[in-house]
Amino acid sequence: MEQQHTVKRKAVFLDRDGVLNVERGDYTWRTHEFEVAPGVPEALALLKQAGYLLIVITNQGGIAKGLYTKEDALACHQKLQTAAGEVIDAIYMAPGHPSSSESLSRKPDSLMLERAIAKFNLDPSACWMVGDQLRDIKAARKSGVPAILVGPHAPVTDVPQKADLLEAAQWIVSHTK
């Protein structure tokens, strides 16, 4: 019996607040306050053209806190998808918060990434996580995914640091084998 080999795929996991949309320093859930960050549509198009699946990985603890609803978050995600030219392949959201519920999905835990890796048959070593917080890097490491930090307040670590998603995307594409 001949064994069939399935090709593992690659993806870029993307944190939402501070990477895809402008970080406001507070929960962003009203669509009129949800501002897609400069360069994001171009960055996503570049990554898509390079053959990456695009998967958003976002904590949305304000839902568990009762500050906003899942529908509010989904409306922001639709605004992002529309602005990005409908290129995002999946959005994983962890609505829990430690003040009200425990969740292995919530970053710095890695369940959202692990679910996507399984669902899309991804090779973690061929993927990237782009985040703006240490919790994003921790989640990536737990699932074997290399990571990049973006933004002006990115904590100093041993991972590449770039100014924004567009710079990170250009770096990823230039470092793809």
Binding-site positions for Mg(2+): 15, 17, 132
The contacts of residue 89 (CB under 8 Å, 6+ apart) are 11, 53, 54, 55, 120
| Selected catalytic residue, list 17, 109, 136, 164 | 17
164 is an active site residue: no
26 is an active site residue: no
User: By the 8 A CB rule, do 116 and 92 touch?
Assistant: yes
CA atoms of 148 and 154, how far apart (whole Å)? 10
**CA angle, 20 as apex, 66 and 80 as ends, to 5°?**
75
Just list the catalytic residues. 15, 17
